[in-house]
């Protein structure tokens, strides 16, 4: 997840002895993300759990600290503890109903719990409230995912199209758009979407297969 560092506690001063460093949930979360990208999942989960515990301690001391709720829900989402994301997110929104960082994260949790209507509600709420937010492209992608699963192809087309317009470097997003366009029999644009996916990831088998299907149609 993209993070704006200025919104949170400053990174730990490297000159401060470890014994005097204040626990930094955001730093632990970021370390977890870096480890996850490297495939070091067990170590990543340790960092996420570290972030979770720090945030819970912060909330116990100050139940109105929205940064703590934000990082807590992010870390719980990475741990796939989706019900806990919703519980803590709801608690945070009672403090500030318009914290769109938490709203978007709750939308993702609803998706993974297959609460698709709730996912759409939260993602639309995020887009409406933070149209320039860092996660708007992701919100549109998840809306596209819901509509795809519901076979609402036109709605999925619009959502995925917005997602790739805002963030054009995600091959899976282009593949999903191509799949939906193929379902709509819009084969020329489906081909273009598959080609973009393959350009970004030349070994993307599903996109290569989709491109081959389109080409076989002549």
For the stretch 27-56, pLDDT in tens is 999 999 999 999 999 999 999 999 999 999
The pLDDT value given to residue 114: 98
Residue 85 near residue 105, CB atoms below 8 Å: yes
For the stretch 16-29, pLDDT in tens is 444 345 689 999 99
Is a pLDDT exceeding 80 seen at residue 11?
no
Q: Indicate the average pLDDT of the chain.
A: 92
Residue 167's closest CA among 194, 127, 140, 202?
Answer: 140
Query: Per-residue pLDDT averaged across 121-145, rounded?
Result: 97
| Domains by residue range for the chain, with CATH | 23-103 (1.25.40.10), 135-218 (1.25.40.10)
For the stretch 68-100, pLDDT in tens is 999 999 999 999 999 999 999 999 999 999 999
CA distance 8 to 34: 18
Residue 108's closest CA among 82, 70, 128?
Answer: 82
Residue 96 near residue 66, CB atoms below 8 Å: yes
- The confidence band for 10, taking pLDDT boundaries of 50, 70 and 90, is very low
The pLDDT value given to residue 1: 36
């Amino acid at each position: 997840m993209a993070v704006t560092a200025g919104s949170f506690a400053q990174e730990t001063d490297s000159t401060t002895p470890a014994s005097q460093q204040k626990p930094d949930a955001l730093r632990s979360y970021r370390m977890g993300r870096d480890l996850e990208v490297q495939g070091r999942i067990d170590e990543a989960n340790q960092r996420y759990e570290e972030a979770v515990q720090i945030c819970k301690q912060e909330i116990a001391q100050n139940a109105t600290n929205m940064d703590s709720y934000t990082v807590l829900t992010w870390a719980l989402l990475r741990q796939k503890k989706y019900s806990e994301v919703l519980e803590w997110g709801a608690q945070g929104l009672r403090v500030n109903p318009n914290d769109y960082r938490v709203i978007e994260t709750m939308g993702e949790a609803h998706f993974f719990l297959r609460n698709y209507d709730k996912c759409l509600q939260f993602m639309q709420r995020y887009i409406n409230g933070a149209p320039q937010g860092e996660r708007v492209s992701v919100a549109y992608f998840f809306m596209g995912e819901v509509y795809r699963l519901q076979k609402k192809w036109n709605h999925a087309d619009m959502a995925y199209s917005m997602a790739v317009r805002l963030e054009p470097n995600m091959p899976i997003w282009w593949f999903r758009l191509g799949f939906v366009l193929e379902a709509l029999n819009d084969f020329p644009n489906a081909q273009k979407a598959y080609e973009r996916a393959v350009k970004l990831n030349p070994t993307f088998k599903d996109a290569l297969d989709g491109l081959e299907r389109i080409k076989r149609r002549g």
